Structure 1
Amino acid sequence: MIRRFSLILILLFSAGANSQTLLVLGDSLSAGYQMPIEQAWPSLLGGALEEKGKSVSVINGSISGDTTGNGLARLPALLKQHQPDTVLIELGANDGLRGFPPNVVENNLRAMIDQIKATDSQVILMQIRIPPNYGQRYSNAIAQLYPALSDEKSVPLIPFFLEQVIVKPDWMMNDGLHPKPEAQPWIAGFMAEQLSPLL
């Protein structure tokens, strides 16, 4: 009886020791825009990662409309509350759609990366690309700051999932910017594939 109880404790401890927490800090692309939060890809990500042998508790800290400045302002409280092992930053699209200067976006992202690293958490950055509303030169400037920051700060950079969703009209809402609920399982699988080697 004691031996069996000890074995259960060991198994529970091992499961807890192998489990980790991932905080997704994003905007409407991760917040489940115009859908129940249960359908959004971060809510499905834990199951997709489990299929790849990763035990991860996923916390969705995303808010529709958030800019990098909003994320930077909210980050300290999120880090204190959740104490994540890893933070995925999916921000910058709203900055770009509003024409914010690229150096402001870059500085906000850099400050977030520094804050996360200061807590000994891992940072993962998602590439962001925006439509050429303000011209190709501006769009390129926004896109190029992500690999530059990835190199500067030695943080992994993963691809922008929307690039593979937007080519499928049936998966996109009428605004042409947000994926439908039907796209969320695919996004969760794609993100699990990108994230699992890094977790």
Structure 2
Amino acid sequence: MIRYQQRRHFILRASIGLLVGLSAPCAIAQATSKTAAAPMRQPVILVLGDSLSAEYGLARGTGWVALLEKRLTQEKLAATVVNASVSGETTSGGRSRLAALLAQHKPSHVVIELGGNDALRGLPLKNTEENLTVMTQAAQKAGAKVLLVGMQVPPNYGTDYANKFAGLFTTVAKAQKVAVVPFFLKGVADGPDPTRLFQPDRIHPRAEAHPQMLANVWPELKKLLR
């Protein structure tokens, strides 16, 4: 009787072990299947800029951000573009708005095109650099890749100020290890006749200039998207 119970106990244990062994691969397969089936999140590109990105004085859909959306379609890159640019915005204003924008849109990429109005108002360079640094760090902390878009000012601001202002974008980018476009208006403001591509105020580019502005941004942004 004892032998029979021991044998029965052995068979029962073997059967349970067989069932567990058979069911484990199924469970793993189901988990793998669920993981594989999980859709990848589509990139969200948040553009935080000033009037140069807000289509100031232009017909809607002709600015570089609108052209960016078309370029993404042409390149077959699925992404959502959120243009949170405001005319007249400074780095301080962008800094105050960024947290809410990150929480609302949860971007995978943040393009920061700010600083020009700081220079126009003669704001201290250290404040501009600090604001760019804080915004970059906040975006990174939220899990986004950052692209800084740099600006330059005319030489009438003084050579020292102009050089330091132009360099601070690269300085911040190197310190925070992010991508940078050194001069947003390259090929627009530094040509033989720069006024040709600007509106009558000589500050805001005409629609004809915006494809070149996108061409300045796109190579660096494309690297981040790939």
Indicate if the aligned counterparts of 1:27 and 1:64 stay in contact, CA closer than 8 A. Answer: yes
SS at match of 1:62: coil
Residue in structure 2 matched with residue 114 of structure 1 by the alignment: 137
Residue 142 (1) aligns with residue 168 (2): no
Indicate if the aligned counterparts of 2:154 and 2:162 stay in contact, CA closer than 8 A. Answer: yes
Residue in structure 1 matched with residue 116 of structure 2 by the alignment: 93
Indicate if the aligned counterparts of 2:186 and 2:216 stay in contact, CA closer than 8 A. Answer: no
Return the TM-score normalized by structure 2. Answer: 0.76
- Cα displacement (A) at 1:194: 3.2
One-letter amino acid of the structure 1 residue matched with residue 184 of structure 2: F
Deviating more after overlay: 66-75 vs 163-172? 163-172
Percent identity reads 38
Q: Tell me how far apart the structure 1 counterparts of residues 215 and 80 of structure 2 sit (CA, whole Å).
A: 16
Match of 1:126 among 144, 149, 172: 149
One-letter amino acid of the structure 2 residue matched with residue 187 of structure 1: M
Whichever of the two has the greater Rg, that structure is 2
Deviating more after overlay: 50-59 vs 77-86? 50-59
Match of 1:191 among 217, 220, 224: 217
Q: Tell me how far apart the structure 2 counterparts of residues 51 and 75 of structure 1 sit (CA, whole Å).
A: 29
Residue in structure 2 matched with residue 10 of structure 1 by the alignment: none
One-letter amino acid of the structure 2 residue matched with residue 140 of structure 1: N
Residue in structure 2 matched with residue 80 of structure 1 by the alignment: 103
Q: Tell me how far apart the structure 2 counterparts of residues 82 and 37 of structure 1 sit (CA, whole Å).
A: 22
Indicate if the aligned counterparts of 1:22 and 1:58 stay in contact, CA closer than 8 A. Answer: yes
Residue 174 (1) aligns with residue 197 (2): no
- Cα displacement (A) at 1:172: 1.4
One-letter amino acid of the structure 1 residue matched with residue 59 of structure 2: P
- Cα displacement (A) at 1:192: 2.6
Q: Tell me how far apart the structure 2 counterparts of residues 120 and 65 of structure 1 sit (CA, whole Å).
A: 28
Residue in structure 2 matched with residue 9 of structure 1 by the alignment: none
- Cα displacement (A) at 1:87: 0.2
One-letter amino acid of the structure 1 residue matched with residue 93 of structure 2: N
SS at match of 1:59: strand
Instruction: Name stretches of at least 5 consecutive residues in structure 1 with no aligned partner.
Output: 1-12
Corresponding residue pairs, total: 186
Q: Tell me how far apart the structure 1 counterparts of residues 102 and 217 of structure 2 sit (CA, whole Å).
A: 22
Match of 1:59 among 68, 76, 82: 82
One-letter amino acid of the structure 1 residue matched with residue 47 of structure 2: V
SS at match of 2:110: strand
C-alpha root-mean-square deviation of aligned residues, in Å? 1.9
SS at match of 1:164: coil
SS at match of 2:186: helix
Q: Tell me how far apart the structure 1 counterparts of residues 40 and 69 of structure 2 sit (CA, whole Å).
A: 16
Q: Tell me how far apart the structure 2 counterparts of residues 110 and 55 of structure 1 sit (CA, whole Å).
A: 29
Residue in structure 1 matched with residue 68 of structure 2 by the alignment: 45
- Cα displacement (A) at 1:149: 0.9
Deviating more after overlay: 85-94 vs 40-49? 40-49
Question: 4+ residue runs of structure 1 moved beyond 4 angstroms?
Answer: none
